[in-house]
A and B are shown apart, each in its own frame.
Chain A
Amino acid sequence: MTTSPSRRGPIGFFVGFGVVALLIAGLLSYLASSNPDGLDTVTLNGCEVTEVGGAEQLSGECIAQNARDHALADSPLADYTLGGNDGLVGLAGVIGVLVTLALAGGLFWLVRPRQRRWADKTRAGKT
């Protein structure tokens, strides 16, 4: 293992990590496979998918026939598009990364203990 550069602050690393996430969501997402994933493949097993006027219809017998449309299917970012425009998947992805970062980072930041507890104080006294 390389020696730890922990004397430097982590800010540079954090910025880099965030930029990588933004690049993946914003650019690499255009190269993502649009085939159904493993779970969807299994739920579609036994059905024939036919496209009828832009909507997809299932014939045969499969689990996915029981699936209901998403309650928020008409929301602006539904299916990683912007208002239904899937040419903007990258922008939708960038929004998702920023919202996730704000929610998760914000939650963890809010719940972190702010005051040194007594036990920590006594331990810190050694240094």
Chain B
Amino acid sequence: MAHVKVVPIGSPREMALDATARLKNRAALLEKEARLAERRAKVQAGWGPTYVDRVHQKGKLTARERIELLRDEGSDLFEVGTFANWGRAFGKLESPAAGVVTVFARIHARWCVVIANDNTVASGSWWPRTPEKIERAQEMARRLRLPVVYLVDCSGLYLPEQSQSFPGATGAGHIFKMNALLSFEGVPQIAGVFGDCIAGGGYMPIISDRVYMTEGAYMVIAGAALIKGAKSQELSSLDIGGPEVHVHASGCADARAPDDETALALIRADVARLPSSGADYHRGGVDAAPPFHEAQDIDGLFPSDHRHTWSVEEVLARLVDRSLFKEFLPARGREIVCGVARVGGLWTGFIANRQGVVEDAEARDGAKPAGILYREGIAKTAAFSRACEADGIPIVWLQDIAGFDIGLEAERLGLLGYGSSLIYANSTNKVPMYSVLLRKASGAGYYAMAGLPYDPIVQLATPLTRLSVMEGRTLAIATYRTKLDANFEIATDDPEERAKLEQAMQDTEARIEGDMDPYKAASQLDIDEIVRLSELRPWLVALVEMAYQSIGHRTVKNPRIWSLHDLDALVEPR
């Protein structure tokens, strides 16, 4: 069956949720989103106006100003790693965004990964986790085959903390290995050198296909300060490794530019010479279209209390084009929704946890709680994941998952085995996968649904995300289980001991609650970006378009030959 028979999903705002609940949800969310906006603004300010002025006084632009000139006018930027090193201090110093801006930007209608040293934060030097953040952006580009633009303005490692960022497997040198791998795999790389680029900052641009240097820029293995005799000969670093040397003598750069603006214009012109995006071809004559049910209304759908449920259909309806969706195997494993829809006109697979209670003929009372993985749901997810891989349909994972089903029945059914089969499928998938931690991302459920350890190209979180092995309450129970009865109630008659135990359990719960904060995960690079719920749709449109931009490097089958249809054919009533 070549037709992908999508059907309407979701209902109008007034029917999706009553107005009182919607407004309450929205108010609670807006509070969290206001904090997100505030924190983003703080990060984006770098070290603040004094340092911005310093950059301007040198006749240079800041990293963010450079990106503004680089992107297509009016296009949106999608930044990753904003909260790297959030809440972390090195001595008295903070390193907003780990001193490097990494964004997806459109240049001449092609998605590119832009990696720009933040010259308002310690002259763009590399902090602990800066290498990892740069490498993560390079990896995103490698997996999606997106051109990379480096805006280099980096005085090397931040030396007081060198032991954390130099020697390890992902230490600064691994950036250059990634440069090499990108080149090896044919991913275009273009570099602009804008300032004092010493040591690592000097190595980073060189492997790029084109290297531009501004007149004030230099690249050196070591600066004049470390060169014997430089002082007496009045040699500056610019004399040692400026454009006079590298463009004309050494050939380590290709061309010189009088200023930042010109260099950026030259880079844009290079990107325009690359092949145009394959996305429109893969739309197959169907135009991108917004969701029929206002995308913005997603912000009223999630209850403020994480124990309360929400409707997966209403959320999907606000993410996919025209709110048209095709679910596969809808009658089986109802705790999970697997289906396809167009996002920005391009086919996208969705795997999402259903919440609340789902029917199950085999369960006691004919129903069971969702938001948990059971055998059928796991098997369905694995089959769908494999089919998307075979068909080249990018997968979006929407997580709100408490974990696997547990207990005697679960073990007898072999959930460990089914779960491992799913993990095998996800681990070996080459098709682009993106994970979105809508709310809970707990335990093995987080793994089974392509959480970060399974290499999704991008992992997004929302201000509602709770990422943990187990919820605080569960851990408190596990910790104090010897003191609890079969219903997990405190089993003592001594009021003093009871009070002590209650306090201890509350403390455990509170500590885990703090650890589940998405900013903490984002600071550790365990989440690529925290986004507002209403930003999810534009993010998905951009990410899916990126997945279809470069042709020839991965399977993209037309729907006529999708193996996905087999799932339908086998369950169709005869």
Partners in one complex: no
